Amino acid sequence: MQRRDFFKKAALTVGAVGLGATTAKAGTTHQPTDNRKVSKNTFPEKRPLITYSDRPPLLETPRDVFTSVLTPNDQFFVRWHLPDIPMHIDPNTYHIKINGLVEKELDITLHDLKTNFEQVEVTAVLQCGGNSRSAFSPIAGGIQWGNGAMGCATWKGVRLRDILDRAGLKKDAEWIGFNGSEKAAYYETPSFIREMEIEELDDHVILAYEMNGEDLPYLNGYPLRLVIPGNYSDSWVKMLSNITVTKKYKSLFFMDVAYRVPDNECECEEPEKKFKTTKPITKMNVKSIIGYPTTGMTLNHNSHTVIRGLAWDDGHGIKDVMVSVDKGKTWKKAILDDGKLGRYAYRAFRFPFKPSKYGELSIMTKAINKLGEEQPFAKDIKWNHGGYKFNGIDEVKVKVV
């Protein structure tokens, strides 16, 4: 299928997921909504996924995919902010502009990127800052994601630093702005633009045109997206059109209002009153997920069972994953993989055991990183209006027969 004809063949109607109502007064957290059914409809280049919207496309990866360190492209979650996504993208004419406080403005084509710069790869987790938002009660604003607004891929492209070096930064350059190609349906809706300080730049920040050895899927940012390993995905701008270097920070909705948490130790607030000062969400916190078994499954009594899943953080590295099969009373170490894909990738874990008691069984996991940071119980996470950065201990419930 021609990518330029993508939306011509993407005719489907998807009902929004019912969010229900809540009467909670004080902010609380619990386990995110789990095991939502995948849609019967599919988008091009994607298998059936949990679907929240078709315009803009909002698709979640099912839990059982999270046993593999690399998330298949056709099962990778999708998150767009604005509904008007370009239907016609010709890779032969596509280009990106580098301008602002640079010695030489650049107009770079895909061919230029692939032939005139060093090609690099980085394997990294892409996770929405609102992943697991459905854990917050009362409902926090935004898509009520379960656990699957995330994925991990090997991204190939060119270092952003190399491109800026080619353009030549002027001495008073301090900020970099990234503009994507998605547009709002209403003219007063702010554009999706993100900024980062030049001092945040390192060799792992790239402009990627490949994902797991293939062209980026259309819905994951084809033909070019920003990759910032260790950071939440709100900064990974898709369908890049322009990079502008400036001296001063530019006030933007998606920097100053959206994707922010209270600037206090707990990053929390009460539903009735917003905390006055906020800060942007940037680095991911430590987290794990169980990919097998999944909630509602049946296990045989005394059968050989292997719990499998994934753990990650912002790049400091996972030290241990602990597993509990007695509702968190006792914990045992899982077996970690070799971590050869790098510190920004998922670490796969496995935990062999035999279910010895009949009836409902709770399986929990918590990750601990090399800084000693570990996942808290879900009930101990404090509430925030955006429903951001939830990283409670993961739990699935199965039946032993």
Phi (first) and psi of residue 247, to 5 degrees: -85, -40
Among residues 63, 41, 66, 70, which one has the least CA distance to residue 53?
41
pTM: 0.91
Provide CB contacts within 8 A for 124, sequence distance 6+: 152, 153, 155, 204, 227, 229, 230, 342, 344, 345
What pLDDT does 90 receive?
93
Q: What CATH class has 287-400?
A: mainly beta
Residue 84: pLDDT band (50, 70, 90) is confident
Cα–Cα distance, 318 to 308 (Å, whole number): 16
Cα–Cα distance, 50 to 15 (Å, whole number): 11
Cα–Cα distance, 359 to 397 (Å, whole number): 10
Judge whether residue 114 has pLDDT over 70: yes
At 165 the three-state DSSP class reads helix
Encoding tokens for residue 37? 């059914």
Residue 15: pLDDT band (50, 70, 90) is very low
Judge whether residue 143 has pLDDT over 90: yes
Secondary structure of 292-335 in the HEC alphabet? ECCCCCEECCCCCEEEEEEEECCCCCEEEEEEECCCCCCCEECE
Cα atoms in the Cβ-side hemisphere of radius 13 Å centred on 316 = 17
When the pLDDT of each residue in the chain is averaged and rounded to a whole number, the result is 91
Encoding tokens for residue 119? 């090609």
- State the span(s) of the chain assigned CATH 3.90.420.10: 95-129+148-280
What pLDDT does 87 receive?
84
Helices and strands (H, E) in the chain, number of each type: 3, 26
What pLDDT does 284 receive?
98
Q: What is the pLDDT of residues 287-340, one digit of tens each?
A: 999 999 999 999 999 999 999 999 999 999 999 999 999 999 999 999 999 999
Q: What is the pLDDT of residues 150-207, one digit of tens each?
A: 999 999 999 999 999 999 999 999 999 999 888 776 666 666 678 899 999 999 999 9
CATH of 95-129+148-280, one of 3.90.420.10, 1.10.10.10, 3.40.640.10, 3.40.50.720: 3.90.420.10
What pLDDT does 25 receive?
65
- State the span(s) of the chain assigned CATH 2.60.40.650: 287-400
